[in-house]
Structure 1
Amino acid sequence: MSDLPTNSPDTFGAASHSSEDSVMSALNLLDIAPDTDPHRPRPGVQRVLSADGANLILFSFAPGQSLPDHKAAHPITVQALRGELDFSYGNETITLTPGSIVHLPAYEVHKVEATSESGNPSTPAILLLTMLTK
């Protein structure tokens, strides 16, 4: 499993917002979530904030889209903002719904899949990944 992708904040490109711009950063994540192409196997993704100790990355999933087994180079939290997403770690799978959150230490293999209840291209399921970089 050492050949699995290991993601860092830079994997997702430059952040659209930075804490260097101001002391306080306020974002409406549902308004700035990326578009997704339902014909592609992977969700839309956008790194939306680079801040002191955390990077926020948004994913928009159409039904059937997934992030196959991968790792993060930092501890992470993952939460559903809209829709339902199956989050798997080891032999355990939980369904993330709005308000639920998962934490994993760095370098733990996991995957995310959109369920059939994940919405549609006009209202995709939205996942917030926070990479804890400090």
Structure 2
Amino acid sequence: MTVEDGAGGAPTNGGGPANDDGRTVGEGEDGSAATIDVLSLAAPPDPEHPRGRPAVKRLMVGDGANLIAFTFAPGQSFPDHSVAHPITVQCLSGELTFGCGDETIRLTPCAVVHCRERVLHRVDCPDDAPDTNVLLLTMLTGERH
């Protein structure tokens, strides 16, 4: 399992005790579990992004899944795209909309959407949303690392 360290830099494969800043990753003694504080590790919003896109940070590459945090400022979007693996998306803070086909789903904290592979979808952050809106993407790869 590879996870990003609390400073947002290099990946780490080790466990060890958590740091006091709450931004670290702890791993079970046998390497069977990891704890990730997504909101602390997510990149800050970048409202000035030239293409109106959210800030993105890969948090973990692990057995069966990759975790990626997207931080949207109001008015930003991740336009229509598809991915090679099934995914879940979960709003952890703020408000977002998830569009898939003709359906648009309002995402607020605790809402989770599952989407099959190669399905066209998009994510938008309303103009009147809070300053920081975090989406957790779990890419269900099925791969062993």
TM-score (normalizing by structure 1):
0.82
Higher alpha-carbon Rg: 2
* Match status 1:131 vs 2:119: no
Question: 1:109 matched to which residue of 2?
Answer: 120
Check the 8 A contact 1:19/1:52 in 2, yes or no: no
Check the 8 A contact 1:43/1:61 in 2, yes or no: yes
The 1:36–1:61 alpha-carbon spacing in structure 2 relative to 1, beyond 3 Å, is same
Question: 1:79 matched to which residue of 2?
Answer: 90
Partner of 2:67: helix, strand, or coil?
strand
Question: 2:24 matched to which residue of 1?
Answer: none
Question: How far does the alpha carbon of each residue in 1:14-37 deviate from its partner, in whole angstroms, 9 at most, with x for none?
Answer: 852678433321111111111221
Q: Which runs of 5+ in 1 are unaligned?
A: 1-13
Using the TM superposition, name which of 111-120 and 25-34 deviates more.
111-120
Using the TM superposition, name which of 70-79 and 30-39 deviates more.
30-39
Check the 8 A contact 2:4/2:12 in 1, yes or no: no
Question: 2:53 matched to which residue of 1?
Answer: 42
Q: CA RMSD in A?
A: 1.7
Q: 1:24 aligns with which of 12, 20, 33?
A: 33
Q: Which amino acid aligns with 2:141?
A: T
After TM superposition, which residue ranges in structure 1, 4 or more long, deviate above 2 angstroms?
Answer: 17-23
Could you tell me how far apart the structure 2 residues matched to 1:59 and 1:42 are?
9
* Match status 1:91 vs 2:102: yes
The number of aligned residues is 118
Could you tell me how far apart the structure 2 residues matched to 1:56 and 1:95 are?
21
Could you tell me how far apart the structure 2 residues matched to 1:26 and 1:118 are?
28
Matched residues, percent identical?
46
Question: How far does the alpha carbon of each residue in 1:51-103 deviate from its partner, in whole angstroms, 9 at most, with x for none?
Answer: 11000000000000000000011000001000010100001001100000000
Could you tell me how far apart the structure 2 residues matched to 1:57 and 1:97 are?
18
Which structure carries more relative contact order (alpha carbon 8 Å, separation 6+)?
1
Question: 2:19 matched to which residue of 1?
Answer: none
Check the 8 A contact 1:15/1:46 in 2, yes or no: no
Check the 8 A contact 1:19/1:49 in 2, yes or no: no
